[in-house]
Amino acid sequence: MQFAGPLALRSGASISDYTLAYETYGTLNAERSNAVLVCHALNASHHVAGVYQGQARSEGWWDNMVGPGKPLDTDRFFVIGVNNLGSCFGSTGPMHVNPATGRVYGADFPVVTVEDWVDAQAALLDALGIETLAAVMGGSLGGMQALSWTLQYPDRVRHAVVVASAPNLTAENIAFNEVARRAIVTDPDFHGGHFYEHGVVPKRGLRIARMIGHITYLSDDVMNAKFGRILRSAVEGEVAGADYRYSTQDVEFQIESYLRYQGDKFSEYFDANTYLLITRALDYFDPARSHGGKLSAALAQARAKFLLVSFKTDWRFSPARSREIVKALLDNSRNVSYAEIDAPHGHDAFLLDDVRYMGVVRSYFERVAREFQQ
Amino acid sequence: MQFAGPLALRSGASISDYTLAYETYGTLNAERSNAVLVCHALNASHHVAGVYQGQARSEGWWDNMVGPGKPLDTDRFFVIGVNNLGSCFGSTGPMHVNPATGRVYGADFPVVTVEDWVDAQAALLDALGIETLAAVMGGSLGGMQALSWTLQYPDRVRHAVVVASAPNLTAENIAFNEVARRAIVTDPDFHGGHFYEHGVVPKRGLRIARMIGHITYLSDDVMNAKFGRILRSAVEGEVAGADYRYSTQDVEFQIESYLRYQGDKFSEYFDANTYLLITRALDYFDPARSHGGKLSAALAQARAKFLLVSFKTDWRFSPARSREIVKALLDNSRNVSYAEIDAPHGHDAFLLDDVRYMGVVRSYFERVAREFQQ
């Protein structure tokens, strides 16, 4: 959908003539009371659920969660997925032409924040004629958007489902983001963010960024269970048998092979400027900041009811961070449900099937549905 | 010290005409029974203790641990530090000329293992006229060498002090090493490891490698305590006050400033090929490997007495990994002391002062000293 704007951004800049790519699933009811907005994290898009006809492996990124009869049941809810500004899956981003200059934005794309994305999402809901959301839902960075919705538009959201998220990034989180950004920015093919006009892509940097990301999405345990110290030659059944090659650059361990593959794949489709923008939005998010660092004071604005979910082996957004949000909400006597799931998969667990996790979300949405069906 | 060799390496290659840089502290007693070998980790050297005259900030890397009256007391012990083969602080490494070809080794330096280093260290002890070590000691990768000493030369080492170490790397450890290596190898200035002849250094890759390393050396908690979400502008007392700059490439958070500084400094002095070699030696170390993965079977060869120390917040070489070694030694009815120190500093704790840690090591070496003073 096309927007004239201008949309005022937290940086002081604004953006005009922008597009938001979105998809919807299910049917908006007559009362317009069954809409659920699903917010995406770093490398996902508006394609939350379902498949594109004739396209193999085109399942939406949360297809196990969203669909007919699924925990977020599109037979009952009208679900909206939207690609955020600055991303690279259809909404206006750094690879598009800035209508004000006629040049590709590149590194000049304005820095966007979680709050800006929420404002853009609200404008989309206005255009769709939806005043109030039954729920807003997201995992990781998507959970930050869901939380921010309850603070920026407290009267427009009845429930917030915040999964594997945090009230802000720790120093370690910022540190990992910074290494990934440095890898991209110092790639000679980055050209200060204007690589498009040079006909190149900083793939080396993107690969490193993705490899770092992947390590932090998985738990140590699940990595050991999945890859351990298994050699690639053992997996490929080489006649010579599984022995060290005594090389510094060959792929020897399975985990190396997996990471290189993930890095290569990512560098083929993800935009380098988008990576910088989205990791910076993560760094900046900190609703307590304008309240003297007091999260309880910040969350006093929320009116929604909450479900928070965290995963015990998630060391990127640990359960302790979700509990900070729970505590701050309880300090304000808000209605909060909280589930800490003992899944082994680390941060990635929020995207994976786990019968307890899926059960908790399903039950919660059954409760949400009862509210508007009364 | 110069060695003619050849030293046979685990890869099947061998190395001739090599130098080992070493330092000693204290005095070898008449019985030659008070020698302690200290093994270094990734980026340290033979300069374990003391300062170089007239050189500011030239303290050895374990100067808090080793010296007159210190836990490893050089008034009692004759301490030897040796720079490992392939490193870049004086011993023969990739930046030196291969006498067989007349060309700088570069990427052709033979791949060395923990076991190879131990063999080279044993040759140095032979040259120094030391048959038996009172103790061998090391932290992290240095601890792997100490452990390997007890397996390769069980009759030449009476005690092993293994700090913040592991019986092998986990998949996650290997993964972090691999990302660092990819950052170096894909730096256009690496030139396949023959950058010396191009007059350049792959500094971009080394910076990224060091930044990743630093994150994994520290605990999340100590990073938060030290840096948190503090902005650099707040620290520098800028008049404009501490606000976000809404940039993707500026240094905004203190943690970013710290990491970039560490990365820059490292890239000025560390050799890129050395980084590849040493991380690979870490990946390969796995004494259980030749015993069907059974660590207890592997450690049956050890005759030494052991002190193992780990640190609760060390997520790179976690206490659980040290406990695996303890258990395997106890399975063999070996004499083992074990201390798990509740220090906040993560893996770095093995280099830092902690009264409990220093006390444990001091007591242990007092016991070692009593043995040879009887």
Q: How far is CA B72 from CA B62, B65, B360, in A?
A: 10, 6, 11
The pLDDT value recorded for residue A241 is 52
Q: Is B206 on the interface with A (CB under 8 A)?
A: no
Residue B241 has pLDDT above 60, yes or no: no
State how far the Cα of A164 lies from the Cα of A339, in Å rounded to an integer: 10
Q: Which residues of A55-88 are buried (b: 16+ CB within 10 A; e: fewer)?
A: eeeebbbbbbbbbeebbbbbebbbbbbbbbbbbb
For chain B, say whether A255 makes contact (Cβ under 8 Å). Answer: yes
Q: Is B209 on the interface with A (CB under 8 A)?
A: no
pLDDT in tens, B307-338: 999 999 999 999 999 999 999 999 999 999 99
pTM (two decimals): 0.95
The Cα-based distances of B143 to B167, B282, B324, B338 in angstroms read 9, 11, 14, 14
Q: Please check the confidence at residue A197 and state whether its pLDDT lies above 70.
A: yes
User: In whole angstroms, what is the distance from residue A188 CA to residue A202 CA?
Assistant: 7
Residue from B148, B314, B318, B348 carrying the catalytic annotation: B314
Residue B275: pLDDT band with limits 50, 70, 90: very high
Among the partner residues B12, B212, B249, nearest to A179 by beta-carbon distance: B212
pLDDT for A372 equals 77
Secondary structure letter of residue A84 according to DSSP: P
**Residue B10 sits at the chain A interface (C-beta within 8 Å):** yes
Confidence at residue A374, expressed as pLDDT on a 0 to 100 scale: 58
Instruction: Inspect the interface and report whether the beta carbons of B172 and A10 lie closer than 8 Å.
Output: no
Tell me the per-residue pLDDT of A213-272, one tens digit each, with 9 for 90 and over: 999 999 999 999 999 999 988 777 665 556 899 999 899 999 999 999 999 999 999 999
- Chain A residues with CB inside 8 Å of B107's CB? 248-249
Q: What is the CA radius of gyration of chain B?
A: 21
The whole-number average pLDDT for the span A70-80 is 98
pLDDT mean across residues, chain A:
95
Q: SS3 for B220?
A: helix
The answer to whether B187 is a known catalytic residue is no
- DSSP per residue, B21-64: -EEEES---TTS--EEEEE--TT--S--SS--TT-TT---TTTT
Within the 32-61 window of chain B, which residues sit less than 8 Å (CB to CB) from chain A? none
Portion 277-306 of A in contact with B at CB < 8 A: 277, 280, 283-284, 286
Q: In terms of C-beta density within 10 A (0-12 exposed, 13-18 middle, 19 or more buried), how is residue A292 classed?
A: exposed
- Partner-chain contact B229 A11, CB within 8 Å: no
Partner-chain residue, chosen from B111, B175, B248, that has the shortest CB–CB distance to A248: B111
Residue B372's pLDDT is 77
- Tell me which chain A residues have a C-beta less than 8 angstroms from the C-beta of B188: 188
In angstroms, the separation between the Cα of residue A125 and the nearest Cα of chain B is 26
Dump pLDDT digits (tens) for B151-167.
999 999 999 999 999 99
- Taking the C-alpha atoms of residue A189 and residue A184, their distance in angstroms, rounded to an integer, is 9
Chain B residue numbers with beta carbons less than 8 Å from the beta carbon of A223 are 170-172, 175
- What are the strands, taking DSSP E only, across chain B? 2-3, 7-8, 14-15, 18-19, 22-25, 35-39, 66-67, 72-73, 78-82, 135-139, 159-163, 305-311, 336-341
